[in-house]
Amino acid sequence: MRAKKIIDTKRDMIDFHCHILPAIDDGSSGIEESIKLLAMERDDGVDRLVLTPHFYAEKDGKGYFNKREKRYMQLLEAMEGAGSGIGDIQVKLGAEVCYFPGCGEADIMDQLCINEGRYLLLEMPFMQWDKNMVSDVEDLIEKRDIRLIIAHIERYFPYQKDMSYWNEVFSMPVIPQMNAGAFIGKWLKRRRSFKLLNQGHEIVLGSDCHNVVSRRPNITSGRREIAAKLGKSFVLTMDKRAEVLFEQL
């Protein structure tokens, strides 16, 4: 009972994946919704997060960066004036970079790293992975020295009939991210998600929240489900990993 209380009332959690940056993708519609989302994150116990608006190479050109910077400045200003502790939430600017063929050699990948560092959140294709995808991942890591956080790994897993490419990707030093929502809700989805944890994937959590209605901040709910199934020490190890990673971003 006591352990559950500690888990439930944790106030210093990190969200590594969210669409809270206003009016740039299919996430927050504007500043007002962004501030509401941040208030929800704060109420949920999150005090640090990475802003990860979608980046699609085929439609987002160089203009993406100006727009993203402008939205980021607007958000920081609004956070300062919002009160209720919202200005104390620590945010880092990144992107959720949708995989594209040849991304392993694309110059733009450097600019898409989180907080102008060396970590990048990569969204892999929702299909059977192949050798070209593995090769791009390998190039990003080995030739470019980019450290990859692989977004919501549970969402690609059902497509991998041939597991060899999946196994190759996760044999590399990548950081798997899972959505908190993967551990909440439908039984089949939950079972699949826990299977990934049981296979040893050392994950960090993200909410992947998009709005205040249907895809809301939910780190605490997901974390509570993981604690209930795998125990307090499992989530504490996960928290520690998240702390170390966030500092490196």
Give residues in contact with Fe ion (CB under 5 A).
96, 208
Tell me the β-bridge partners of 103: none
Q: From the CB of 93, what's the least distance to Fe ion, in Å?
A: 15
Q: Which residue has the tokens 């993981």?
A: 226
Q: From the CB of 96, what's the least distance to Fe ion, in Å?
A: 5
Give 154: exposed, middle or buried? Use CB within 10 Å, 0-12, 13-18, 19+: buried
- C-alpha distance from residue 204 to each of 17, 21, 59, 71, 243 (Å): 10, 20, 29, 26, 10
- Residue 10 vs 215, nearer CB to Fe ion: 215
- Residue 96 vs 225, nearer CB to Fe ion: 96
- Residue 28 vs 82, nearer CB to Fe ion: 28
Q: Which residue is nearest to Fe ion (CB)?
A: 208
- Residue 52 vs 221, nearer CB to Fe ion: 52
Give 236: exposed, middle or buried? Use CB within 10 Å, 0-12, 13-18, 19+: middle
Q: From the CB of 17, what's the least distance to Fe ion, in Å?
A: 6
Residue 70 tokens read as 């402008």
